[in-house]
């Protein structure tokens, strides 16, 4: 990876407050008490050209850019009433990446508070003074009065008389005016001493220098660091409570250091400056106690932004290979509404018990994004029903539903050979101006793939939709669906076709295309890239020739399954909290039912044979989302007239052309009514022997 580190000074009291509000107020002191190790925070900007696990051929590797703010820590624990030093480490309270799969994986497996961002090195239209260049701009997603938007987050600017051009590598920048060579920790300490005299007073210099020397001596000797995070999932019925919490520790090791050097044109005055956008959503400088040298306001594109300028001290770069050597759960807490206690990873009770509160220090939980709002958004809905083999669907449900749950489900319909799957597309309409800021969490386009089922909880039977997979282009919705409901929701891109949303007069056209992150295997390896998932095609009216489905079966699906598909029913979702040490091991399995209230404003139900158009969903089969084969969807024979017409369309890889058995449209408001957790299972581990 390529890494650039910009050290900045911070206030120890603010960093201690961060440790308390992020860790110490929540976890048992017998496991960890965290203190800031240095009066410094390290802003790191990384480029991972290739990142993956041990089974890269199966999971694929991915590339990403990353921004983090790293806080060095000292970990203690209370033993017999006194604090005992355990180790040095760090935490990253703010971290941003431009790969959506990395966001979901890091949040759920390691509890890292990653957010989606965008990185750019476009040097044009700079709002800064002449002689100052923007070295890098990073934008983050945030709510605004007209919906969620990508706004400025951090600019790294570079002041020098020697300009750098777009694409300049850090080791090609103008070198320091005094020869300093590779980074020397002793020289680094001397420079920090100068700043310490100005900032903290002479009485604290020795203590600060001892901390710095101890910390960097350990990092330099071991070339490794332990990172800590508090992973939490809020209770969907009460966002003030943490339904599940654990303390995660994972160790990063430098496997190979290829290069190391200084950035800028001076060992002390680096000429690099971080300009953080000041917002209530992410008060980074305030929370971390960063030393702000200047506060400015800049206007661009009709908007005014406030920035906090922070001088970087002795910034340096490195080229290195790193490994995640270990990842473990130090302690965990499961609150089912009866309080609960903390346990170690083997299940042993820890004392004293600590309340299972949700930590709101870094913003709201994913659960709060879907809480009731002042107004309900108006949604455009499109229902599509596809035919699938009943046995394939039953096998899939049996694999997805945990054996311990009391919930019993059966595939809807009496036909023993086939059943229907529902594809639900929704798109939010912009509401009145006064409500747009309140509806930000519901903005965007959404797709869910579900199986209509009959569910029984032991107290009654009801119709529902069992969620197989969901996709959304709103990062807040993706986060909330995964964190609160445990639903399999992923980030996606929706591209309207030539004729827009489901309206066409052409002989064969793409009405909607959807792509998401998926594993792409080649002869030399596998990588996670943006990949097509499905297209909705519209063709001239034709019969379903080439489909292994008789007219009686089509009639049965339209009479029995279509009424369940073309309305908003309760949804059943199965969620898992993965182990940090193994993504294949689950620490908690949850089965949940979410019910809704619908206010239909306009509804039109159509069928392919009555609309004058035939719609076909073309699935792109891949190892990440084998949706067509896994669910047994009934595809057109490529030798049929319609099948051959679709087969001639350009595509990469295998595709399945699935005719739409019935389609419907509606304009409505949908509000979440209630949540019900049917079952939660925490698998127990055998206690480790001494």
Residue among 448, 287, 483 nearest 368 (CA): 483
Cα 346 from chain centroid? 29
Looking at residue 202, what is its pLDDT? 46
Give the tens place of pLDDT for each residue, 570-600. 999 999 999 998 878 889 999 999 999 999 9
> What is the b/e burial string over 6-21, where b = at least 16 CB atoms within 10 angstroms of the residue's CB?
bbbbbbbebbebbbeb
Residue 418 and residue 634 in contact, taking contact as beta carbons nearer than 8 Å? yes
Looking at residue 273, what is its pLDDT? 85
List of the chain residues with pLDDT < 70: 53-58, 121-134, 144-147, 159-209, 264-270, 299-304, 337-339, 352-355, 372-373, 431-441, 498-507, 541-548, 606-613, 652-653, 684-690
Residue 463 and residue 502 in contact, taking contact as beta carbons nearer than 8 Å? no
Cα 175 from chain centroid? 38
Looking at residue 407, what is its pLDDT? 94
- Burial class, 529, CB count within 10 angstroms (exposed 0-12 / middle 13-18 / buried 19+): middle
Per the rule left: phi > 0, alpha: psi between -120 and 50, beta: everything else, 578 is beta
What is the C-alpha to C-alpha distance for residues 567 and 381, in angstroms, rounded to an integer? 10
Looking at residue 183, what is its pLDDT? 43
Looking at residue 39, what is its pLDDT? 86
Looking at residue 384, what is its pLDDT? 94
Question: Which long-range contacts does 639-642 make (Cβ < 8 Å, 24+ apart)?
Answer: 639/546, 640/545, 640/546, 640/547, 641/542, 641/545, 641/546, 642/539, 642/542, 642/545, 642/546, 642/614, 642/616
In this prediction the pTM is 0.87
Looking at residue 338, what is its pLDDT? 58
Beta strands in 457-521 (DSSP E): 461-472, 489-496, 508-521
Q: Which helix (H) or strand (E) holds 191?
A: helix 185-199
Looking at residue 400, what is its pLDDT? 93
Looking at residue 547, what is its pLDDT? 64
404 contact partners, CB below 8 Å, separation of at least 6: 589, 679, 681
Which residues face 652 on adjacent strands? none
């Amino acid at each position: 990876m390529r890494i650039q580190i910009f050290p900045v000074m911070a206030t120890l009291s603010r960093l201690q407050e961060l440790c308390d509000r992020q860790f110490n107020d929540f976890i048992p002191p017998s496991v960890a008490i965290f203190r800031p190790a240095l009066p410094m925070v390290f802003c790191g900007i990384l480029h991972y050209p290739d990142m993956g696990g041990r089974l890269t051929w199966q999971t694929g590797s991915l590339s990403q850019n990353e921004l983090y703010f790293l806080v060095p820590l000292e970990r203690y624990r209370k033993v017999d009433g006194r604090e005992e030093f355990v180790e040095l480490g760090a935490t990253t309270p703010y971290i941003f990446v431009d790969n959506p799969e990395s966001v979901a994986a890091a949040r759920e497996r390691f509890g890292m508070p990653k957010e989606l961002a965008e990185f750019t090195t476009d040097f044009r239209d700079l709002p800064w003074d002449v002689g100052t260049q923007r070295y890098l701009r990073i934008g983050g997603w945030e709510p605004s009065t007209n919906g969620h938007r990508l706004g400025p987050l951090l600019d790294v600017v570079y002041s020098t008389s020697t300009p750098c051009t777009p694409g300049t590598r850090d080791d090609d920048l103008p070198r320091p005016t005094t020869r300093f060579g590779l980074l020397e920790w002793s020289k680094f300490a001397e420079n920090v001493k100068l700043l310490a005299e100005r900032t903290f007073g002479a009485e604290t210099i020795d203590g600060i220098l001892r901390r710095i020397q101890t910390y960097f001596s350990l990092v330099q000797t071991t070339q490794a660091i332990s990172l800590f995070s508090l992973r939490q999932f809020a209770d969907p019925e009460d966002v003030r409570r943490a339904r599940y919490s654990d303390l995660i520790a994972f160790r990063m090791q430098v496997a190979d250091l290829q290069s190391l050097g200084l950035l800028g044109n001076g060992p002390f005055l680096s000429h690099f400056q971080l300009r953080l956008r000041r917002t209530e959503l992410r008060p980074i400088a305030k929370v971390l106690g960063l030393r702000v040298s200047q506060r400015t306001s800049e206007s661009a594109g009709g908007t005014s932004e406030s920035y906090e300028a922070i001088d970087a001290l002795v910034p340096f770069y490195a080229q290195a290979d790193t490994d995640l050597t270990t990842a473990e759960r130090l302690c965990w807490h499961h609150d089912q509404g009866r309080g609960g206690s903390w346990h170690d990873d083997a299940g042993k009770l820890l004392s004293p018990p600590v309340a299972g509160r949700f930590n709101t220090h870094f913003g709201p939980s994913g659960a709060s994004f879907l809480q009731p709002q002042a107004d309900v958004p108006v949604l455009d809905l499109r229902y599509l029903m596809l035919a699938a083999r009943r046995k394939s669907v039953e096998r899939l449900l049996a694999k997805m539903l945990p054996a311990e749950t009391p919930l019993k489900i059966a595939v809807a319909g009496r036909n023993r050979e086939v059943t229907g799957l529902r594809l639900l597309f929704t798109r939010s309409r912009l509401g009145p101006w006064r409500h747009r800021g309140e509806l930000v969490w519901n903005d965007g386009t959404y797709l869910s793939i579900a199986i209509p089922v009959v569910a029984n909880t032991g107290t009654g039977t009801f119709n529902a939709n069992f969620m197989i997979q969901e996709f959304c282009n709103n990062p807040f919705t993706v986060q909330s669906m995964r964190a609160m409901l445990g639903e399999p929701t992923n980030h996606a891109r929706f591209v309207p076709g030539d004729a827009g949303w489901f309206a066409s007069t052409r002989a064969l056209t793409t009405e909607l295309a959807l792509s998401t992150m998926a594993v792409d295997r080649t002869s030399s390896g596998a990588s996670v890239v943006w990949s097509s998932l499905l297209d909705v095609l519209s063709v001239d009216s034709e019969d379903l020739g080439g489909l292994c489905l008789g007219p009686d079966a089509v009639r049965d699906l339209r009479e029995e399954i279509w009424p369940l598909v073309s309305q908003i029913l309760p949804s059943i979702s199965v969620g898992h909290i993965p182990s940090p040490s193994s993504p294949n091991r689950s620490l908690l399995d949850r089965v949940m039912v979410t019910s809704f209230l619908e206010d239909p404003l306009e509804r039109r139900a159509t069928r392919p044979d009555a609309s004058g158009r035939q719609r076909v969903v073309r699935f792109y089969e891949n190892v990440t989302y084998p949706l067509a084969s896994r669910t047994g969807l009934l595809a057109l024979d490529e030798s049929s007239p319609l099948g051959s017409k679709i087969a001639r369309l350009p595509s990469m890889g295998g595709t399945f052309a699935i005719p739409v058995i019935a389609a419907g449209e509606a304009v409505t408001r949908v509000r979440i009514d209630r949540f019900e957790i049917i079952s939660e299972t925490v698998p127990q581990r055998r206690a480790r022997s001494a």
